[in-house]
């Protein structure tokens, strides 16, 4: 385990050193490092790897959003994929039926998904545990079934010829160009998630996660904060859905929003560590690669993912984020011990 964590430790130390200069510096450095990735992947002669990277980035945005309501606030929701579908369908229909450009259709889709988050969140704030999970699961499947049986929403044929984003004469009409759009969106989403976590709102979310009664006694408006977590999570899902819909070849189908997609998303959060942002990002990368490589065995995918989730809960309950936390805490104590030893000498 120490050998596997060695490269990660060096990376953590590097970015911590950059953060001492200014909080935004490591983000800018990471963004610059990620810019040449499409060129590196295209050198393999297979554009599918770039497409896979784009899908991973979209799922990172989804998992970061889900982590806000599940990891920060402790709400057991399994209907996030339904919000993702609402964002995708809304942006697609606005672009196709009304000629809206992506830069108008996407914000509108995010707003609509946020309103859907309010509708879901209002009754859900009174539910806990398995009851909340069942209610949100029903919502996710209801959205998918509605899309599947409504011709105006694509029905069994799906929605085709969704126009790609465009800036002047520059069109994001291939996977390599689209990478820069989804990578930027994912970086912004992760940064905002950290900002929320450090804010008073994030601390209120975590207090609710730890103990609802204690949070309420200390003056935190529990229903309002639970609802806010649902809405913020829905905004992330709406943005991810719109990005997915407009990604070449511009086609979505109700089978893109099945329960297996939701299980995949949940596994990303669990593997990464519930409440750990960077762990969720790493979990999204690992799980989506596993998901993509098991597509031909789709009939056993639920069993495979369920088994992985059980093994994670048993052997690594805190996920990858827990491993990261242990490293950071150990490093801090070792440093304090060394400083104490130097002082005593």
Residue 290: pLDDT band with limits 50, 70, 90: confident
Residue 103 structural domain: 2-344
Which one is predicted more confidently, 276 or 152? 152
CATH number at residue 77: 1.10.3470
pLDDT at 179 over 90: yes
Which one is predicted more confidently, 84 or 305? 84
Percent of the chain with pLDDT over 90: 36
Query: Based on the structure, what is the number of domains in the chain?
Result: 1
- CA atoms of 86 and 127, how far apart (whole Å): 23
pLDDT at 94 over 90: yes
For residue 19, the model assigns a pLDDT of 72
pLDDT at 343 over 70: no
For residue 213, the model assigns a pLDDT of 86
- CA atoms of 312 and 57, how far apart (whole Å): 23
CA 303 to chain centre: 23
For residue 10, the model assigns a pLDDT of 64
The single residue listed with the structure tokens 């465009």 is 166
pLDDT at 180 over 90: yes
Predicted model pTM:
0.89
CA 86 to chain centre: 16
- CA atoms of 300 and 320, how far apart (whole Å): 25
For residue 3, the model assigns a pLDDT of 46
- CA atoms of 131 and 10, how far apart (whole Å): 43
Query: Mean pLDDT across the stretch 84-113?
Result: 95
pLDDT at 17 over 90: no
Q: State phi, psi for 214 to the nearest 5 degrees.
A: -60, -40
Query: Mean pLDDT across the stretch 18-26?
Result: 78
Three-state DSSP at 197 gives helix
Residue 184: how many CA atoms within 13 Å on its side-chain side? 6
For residue 323, the model assigns a pLDDT of 72
pLDDT at 324 over 90: no
Q: Cis bond leading into 137, ω under 30°?
A: no
- CA atoms of 72 and 321, how far apart (whole Å): 13
CB burial of 300-335 (b: ≥16 within 10 Å; e: otherwise) equals ebeeebeebbeebeeeeebbbbbbbbeeeeeeeeee
């Amino acid at each position: 385990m120490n050998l596997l964590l060695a490269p990660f430790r060096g990376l953590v130390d590097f970015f911590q050193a950059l953060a001492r200069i200014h909080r935004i510096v490591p983000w800018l450095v990471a963004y610059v490092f990620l810019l040449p990735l499409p060129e590196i992947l295209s050198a393999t002669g297979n554009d599918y790897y770039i497409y896979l990277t784009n899908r991973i980035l979209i799922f990172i945005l989804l998992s970061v959003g889900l982590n806000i309501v599940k990891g920060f606030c402790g709400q057991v929701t399994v209907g996030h994929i339904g919000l993702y579908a609402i964002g995708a369908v809304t942006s697609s229909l606005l672009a196709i039926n009304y000629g809206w450009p992506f830069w108008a259709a996407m914000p509108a889709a995010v707003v609509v998904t946020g309103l859907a988050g309010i509708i879901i969140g209002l009754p859900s704030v009174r539910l806990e545990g398995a009851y909340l999970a069942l209610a949100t699961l029903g919502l996710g499947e209801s959205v998918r079934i509605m899309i599947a049986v409504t011709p105006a929403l694509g029905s069994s044929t799906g929605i085709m010829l969704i126009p790609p984003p465009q800036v002047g004469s520059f069109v994001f009409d291939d996977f390599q160009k689209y990478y820069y759009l989804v990578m930027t969106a994912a970086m912004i989403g992760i940064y905002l998630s950290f900002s929320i976590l450090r804010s008073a709102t994030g601390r209120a979310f975590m207090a609710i996660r730890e103990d609802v009664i204690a949070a309420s006694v200390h003056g935190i408006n529990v229903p309002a904060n639970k609802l806010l977590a649902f809405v913020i999570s829905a905004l992330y899902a709406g943005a991810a859905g719109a990005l997915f819909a407009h990604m070449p070849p511009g086609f979505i189908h109700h089978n893109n929003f099945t329960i297996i997609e939701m299980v995949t998303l949940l596994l990303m959060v669990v593997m990464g560590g519930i409440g750990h942002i960077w762990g969720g990002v790493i979990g999204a990368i690992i799980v989506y690669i596993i998901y993509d490589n098991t597509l031909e065995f789709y009939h056993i995918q639920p069993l495979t993912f369920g088994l992985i989730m059980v093994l994670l809960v048993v052997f690594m309950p805190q996920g990858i984020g827990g491993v990261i936390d242990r490293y950071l805490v150990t490093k801090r104590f070792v440093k304090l011990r060394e400083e104490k030893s130097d002082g005593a000498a």
